[in-house]
Structure 1
Amino acid sequence: MAKLILTHEVTGLGEPGDIVEVKDGYARNYLLPRGLAEAWTKGAEKNVSSIRRARKAREVATLEDARALRDALAARVVTVTAKAGPGGRLFGAVSTTEIAEAVVAAGAPAIDKRKVEIGQPIKSLGEYTVSVRLHPEVSAKVTVKVVAGA
């Protein structure tokens, strides 16, 4: 078992700043190469408080704010422009960064790209529903319309 400090949120595992024990292969092959965690040391454990402070600054402050943001996001259809082939198939896939930028372009408040969860990769034109975790108790469903463009 490997003892790690999470630097980013990992669904089903924990929040940034959490100290977790995972199997060696999961740590070596997934968490560490993607920069989602760092190895636990006594020196690194002292940095946990700064990681938690940074997380608090990025989080939506209150439950009421999260619910208001959820309602604002649900009322909008977000449009993402992507390169597509003749059959409507995309060259690549729509990323969480593109969705977060499209939310801002649609006039909604900014959201953290790490909070966007795409169930299946978006690889063709059409309308999709993605989930955005706004607060531990509140998540929003956002309708994303993928259209062909340059």
Structure 2
Amino acid sequence: MEIILLEDIGGLGKRGTAVRVADGYARNFLIPRKKAIEAVGNARAVFKDRERARVALEAKQRQAAERLREDLGKLSLQFSVEAGEEDQLYGSVSSHEIQDALAAKGYTVERKSVRLAEPIKSLGVFEVPIHLYEEIEAPVKVWVVRK
């Protein structure tokens, strides 16, 4: 059976290529899991239309992420917290607080997008990367000061 791959599959080929596979492999595995479509009739034209729409959507999302990166790069957040004598915080500043502070300034990001290895537990200035899209990250300056 001839199929068109909807994603890269090791040993078969790259996304968008037409390949011949065993009927059972196509019907029982690839097609039900949306990894391929059967190459009949206008399937190639339908695939090309879907691919064009996907590429346009990705370009739009990438462009929005680039604009957001520029905005977030200029942004700095300040947290006033209780701290001990040696500048150790009595609590911590976590990705959740950073997400809330960004939301208060009008930027919607998911909590998992805030790339904080561990919560901030001392006073100082920190640069926290915010993951926006694939390889696009925006550094946000976070100031943690004594209350």
TM-score between the two structures when normalised by the length of structure 1: 0.53
Instruction: Report the counterpart of residue 70 of structure 1 in structure 2.
Output: 69
Task: Quote the offset at 1:80 in angstroms.
Answer: 1.8
**In the TM superposition, what whole-angstrom CA distance separates every residue of 1:85-129 from its partner, at most 9, and x where no partner exists?**
122210132110111112233x24121111111145411111001
RMSD: 1.9
TM-score normalised over the length of structure 2: 0.54
1:90-101 alignment, distance < 5 Å? 90-101=89-100
Q: Is the 8 A contact 2:87 2:123 kept in 1?
A: yes
**Distance 1:121-1:95 versus aligned 2 partners, 3 A rule:** closer
The runs of at least 4 aligned residues of structure 1 exceeding 2 Å deviation read none
Distance 1:81 1:100 in 2: 16
If you compute each CA radius of gyration, which structure gives the higher value, 1 or 2? 2
SS at the partner of 2:121? coil
Match of 1:114? Answer: 112
Q: Do 1:72 and 1:108's aligned partners in 2 also have CA atoms closer than 8 Å?
A: no
Instruction: Find the partner of 1:146 among 124, 144, 147.
Output: 144
Aligned to 2:87: 88
The code of the aligned residue for 1:97 comes to H
Partner of 2:143: helix, strand, or coil?
Answer: strand
Q: Secondary structure, in 3 states, of the residue corresponding to 1:133? A: strand
Which amino acid counterpart does residue 70 of structure 2 have in structure 1?
A: D
- For the residue of structure 2 that corresponds to 1:110, the secondary structure is coil
Residue-pair matches, total: 89
- Paired with 2:106 and 2:87, the residues of 1 have a C-alpha distance of 27
Structure 2: give runs of 5+ residues left out of the alignment. 1-32, 34-59
What aligned pairs does 1:1-150 form with structure 2 within 5 A after superposition?
62-105=61-104, 107-149=105-147
5+ residue gaps, structure 1, are: 1-45, 47-60
CA offset at residue 133 of structure 1? Answer: 0.7
